[in-house]
Amino acid sequence: MLRTATLAVTFLAGIIVILAFFFDVGFLATAEARVQDWGVIVAAFALAMASINLVQVNIRRISSSDDATEKICAVVLLAALVVMSIIGLTQGPTSDTYNVLFDGIMAPGQSTVWALGVFYISSAAYRAFRVKNVDAGLLLFSSAFVMLGAVPIGEVIWSGIPAVSQWIVDVPNMAGMRGMLIGAGIGAFSGGLRLLLGIDRTEVG
């Protein structure tokens, strides 16, 4: 019964959104807005569940881990969760205190992690560019042109490098990307259709 109801709700919500995309009918637009609202409500419940999960996992880490650093990290995380929740609930997420804590700790932290990507790219590139076969050789050859085309020294070495680099990006690279994109798009469509019609029941377990 629960499974049938879930499949029916999935179908109904999906078909309303699809019809509203194609047809400019008043009641469809209203129904679509309602579906979107329900989505927000469900997401809010999911966030509450996720927060409970976060607390459970970190309390377990504090109580059972042998690693002192891990325990400290878990305590800091839980303290941050409590402090940010209290400030968010009492002063609102647009208050100065909330923004100072977010912009002063969270944002630089995220930027730092993102910046670390350059080191990961270097180590990955080192492994990828080892010429083990013809494919790896082609990869090295084309990437060397693309990289040299992106920096001023490339043009100094040979004036044609930027043009070759651009051609590699715009023609063979783009052709491959678009081929993958079309395949992925059709695959996503097929997956969506299966979910909509209840053929794929992944979401109902």
Partner 1 sequence: MIQGRQFTLLLFLVMSVIMLYAGNYVRKGKKTIKIRRLSAVEAIPEAIGRATEAGRPVHFSPGLAAITGLDAPQTFAGISLLRYIAKLTARYDVRLIVTIRQPAVLPLAQETIRQSYLEEGKFDALSQVDVMFLSDQQFAYAAAASGVIMREKAAASFLFGAFWAENLMLAEVGTQVDAYQISGTASIGQVPFFVTTTDYCLIGEELYAAAASLTADEVFLGAILGQDICKGIMVALLVVGVIVTAVGSDLFVRLLSL
In the complex, the residues that contact partner 1 under the rule CB under 8 A are 18, 21-24, 39, 42-43, 46-47, 49-51, 53-54, 57, 67, 70, 106, 109-111, 113-114, 116-117, 120-121, 123-125, 127-128, 177, 180-184, 186-195, 197, 199-200, 202-203, 205
Q: CB under 8 Å to 113, separation ≥6 — which residues?
A: none
Q: CB under 8 Å to 193, separation ≥6 — which residues?
A: 199
Distance CA 203, CA 190 (A): 16
The least CB distance from residue 97 to partner 1, in Å, is 19
| Closer CB to partner 1, 61 or 162, in the complex | 61
| Closer CB to partner 1, 54 or 156, in the complex | 54
Helix residue ranges, H only, the chain: 2-22, 26-64, 68-91, 96-101, 107-115, 117-128, 134-149, 152-157, 161-168, 174-196
| Closer CB to partner 1, 64 or 159, in the complex | 64
The least CB distance from residue 99 to partner 1, in Å, is 15
The least CB distance from residue 123 to partner 1, in Å, is 6
The least CB distance from residue 147 to partner 1, in Å, is 14
Q: Give the distance, in angstroms, between the CA of residue 168 and the centroid of all CA atoms in the same chain.
A: 28
Distance CA 18, CA 15 (A): 5
| Closer CB to partner 1, 163 or 193, in the complex | 193
